[in-house]
Chains A and B, each alone.
Chain A
Amino acid sequence: MDDQTRISRFERFFVPHLDAAYNFARWLTRDERNAEDVVQEASLRAFKFIDSFHGDDGRAWLLGIVRNTYYTWLKRNKVAMLAVPFDEESFDSGELEASGDRCASPIDQLLQEKDAKRLVDAALERLPEEFREAVVLRELEGLSYKEIAAIAGIPLGTVMSRLARARKLLLQYLRQAQES
C-alpha cells in the first residue's frame, strides 16, 4: 500500500471519528492535555497499522486503539497509582441493592437542578476507570454491548455486569453529592 493510499484511507476511516476518539480519551485521562497526547499517539498507531484494517467500522477500531494507547501511556507515566484501585470481583453491591426502595426519586429531582451537568460529570469522573469507559462508550457513543466488548476486549457478560455496577455507583455518587 503506497503512502497516498494509506493517507486517503486514514482520512476516510479515522479522521471522521476524531471527536469520538478525543471524547473517549478525555474521559479516560480526565485531562485535556493528556487526552490530546493519547489521541495523537493513537492516531499514529492507527496510521501505522492501517494496512491491517479491513473492517468498515473505523470508529470502533480507533476507539480500541485509543484505549490500548491509554493503558500503555498510564503505565509509562507511572500514574497508575492515581487511578482508583478497584477489585471488581469482590465488589459487594449488596449495600446498594436497596437504592430503589427509597420513597423520593432523587434522580428526577436532580434533573431539575441547574447544576445537573456539573453533578453528572463529577459522578462520572469519580467512577473507577473500567466502569467509566463502559458508561462513556454506551451512553456518549451509543455503542452496543457487543461493540463495547470488542473495544475493551472483555466478554459480553462482563460488559453487562460492569454497566450494571457502574450505574449503581453513579446513583450512589449522585445521592451523596445531593446530600452534601
Chain B
Amino acid sequence: MTSTDDTFRSLVQPSRVHRWLYTDPAIFEAEMERIFGSAWIYVGHESQVRKPGDYVRTFIGRKPVVLVRDTEGEVRVIHNQCAHRGSLVVANDKGNTDEFQCCYHGWTYHLDGRLKAVPLQHGYASDFDPNNPKTAMVSAARVKSYRGFVFASEAADGPSLEEFLGYMTTSLDDMIDRAPDGEIEVAGGTFKHAYEANWKLYLENLCDAAHPLFTHRSSIDAAQQQSDAVYSDGSGEIAIRQMRQNGAPYNFWESQVGIWTYPNGHSYLGDYHDDAKLVAALKDPVFRDYIAAMEKKRGKAETRRVLEVRRWNSNIYPNLSFMSGFQQLRVVHPIAVDRTVVQTYNFRLKGAPERMFRNTISFANTVNGTGSLVLTDDLEIYNRIGMGLSSEGAEWIEIGRGLKSDAPDAHGGRRGKNSTSEVYIRNMFDAWLHYMADGCAAMRAAS
C-alpha cells in the first residue's frame, strides 16, 4: 500500500481500525520513522549507568543505541554505529569503559560520542574534520530524565518530556515514592520474551481487563485447585495468589476497577487487588516491616498517601509499561511488523526490607516470565492475532467497547466507564494518528 497521511487517516475509525496496521510492512516502516523517530522513547534508568563509563546497549525502535554516563556525569544516548563504515561499535550488553572503539579500523570515540582518534588520519581527504559532528557516534536529538527514567527523542523540536508525559508523571512518581529512601534501582536481571506479531498488541493487552478470565483460564483453574498445605518457600505462594486474582468475576472488573487515559496515548488501569488478596496484606509481616520503614523515613501521612495510590499497569506510549505496586517495568522493542521482543526489568526499593525484593522477583516470574503460567497464554494470543490478521476477509478489527461511555477526566484525559472499556486502545490510536498523519505531518512540512 502507499503510505500517505490520508491513507493512515482512513485506517483508523472511532470504533475500529484496519488490520493493515498490524500486518503491513510499509506501515511498520512508517511507524519506525514517524512514531519511534519522534516520540519520547524510554531508553533506560539512570541506576543502570551509575558511574562514569557505565553503559548499556539498547534500541530506539530498531536503531541500536548506547545509554552511557560520560566523564562529566551526564547521561547520554548515542547511536551505536561507527561513523566510518557503519559497524556496530558496542557489542556487549553492558559494561564500563573509558572510550568506545570500533573493532574494524580503530576509530575511537569519547563517552559522549565525539570522535577521539582515527588511525591513519593522513589518508583521508584534506577537508576531513574529526570535530565534524557527522564523524561521531551521533547523539539522540534530545535526551531527558524524569526522576531517573531516561527518555530520548530523535526529533530536535516537539513537546518537552514533561509535556509528553503529562499526568502520567504521577505513575512514575508512584514507582519512586514507594521507596522509603525515595530512590529505586534496576536489579534482579531481565526477561526477553518474544512473539510473532505486531508491537502494538503488547500495550493493547496490558490494560485489558476483559481477557484474564478467558485467556488465563488454565492458570486460574490450576491455582484455584491448588492446596495451600503443600510446601512453598514463599515464591509459589505469591504466584498462585496472583493467578487466583486473575479469576475475579466480570462484575468485579466492571464495578471496582477503572481505566484512565491521557494525551499522547498513555493510560493506566486501576489496581485490581485489594490488600487482603496479595502479598501487600497488612497481616503480612514483610509488608508490616515495610510500612514501618516508610513511616520512619517519610512520616505517617505521606506513607498513607503513597499506599493509597492504587495503579496496576501504567502505559507510556509507544514503548513503556510499568507496574508500581510490584516494581515491574517492560520495554517494547519492535523487530519487524510481525516480530516483537519485550524486555522486562525489576526495581529495588531503597530502604525497604530485603524480603520485599524477593517478592518482586517472584512476582516478575509470574507476570513477566518467559516460562510463566500466565504470560505464556498472553504470548499465544499475540501469535494467534498475528496469524488471524494476516489473511484477507475481515478487514476491520473492533476497538469500540465502551465507546459511548467515555467521560472526561479531571486531569485532561478521558476515562472509561469501567476497566473493561477499550478506551485505552482508542486513545493509543489517537496518538498513532497524531504521529503518523496530523501533528507530525505538519512538523515534517515545516522542516
Determine if chain A interacts with chain B.
no
Contacts from A to B (Cβ < 8 Å): none
Contacts from B to A (Cβ < 8 Å): none
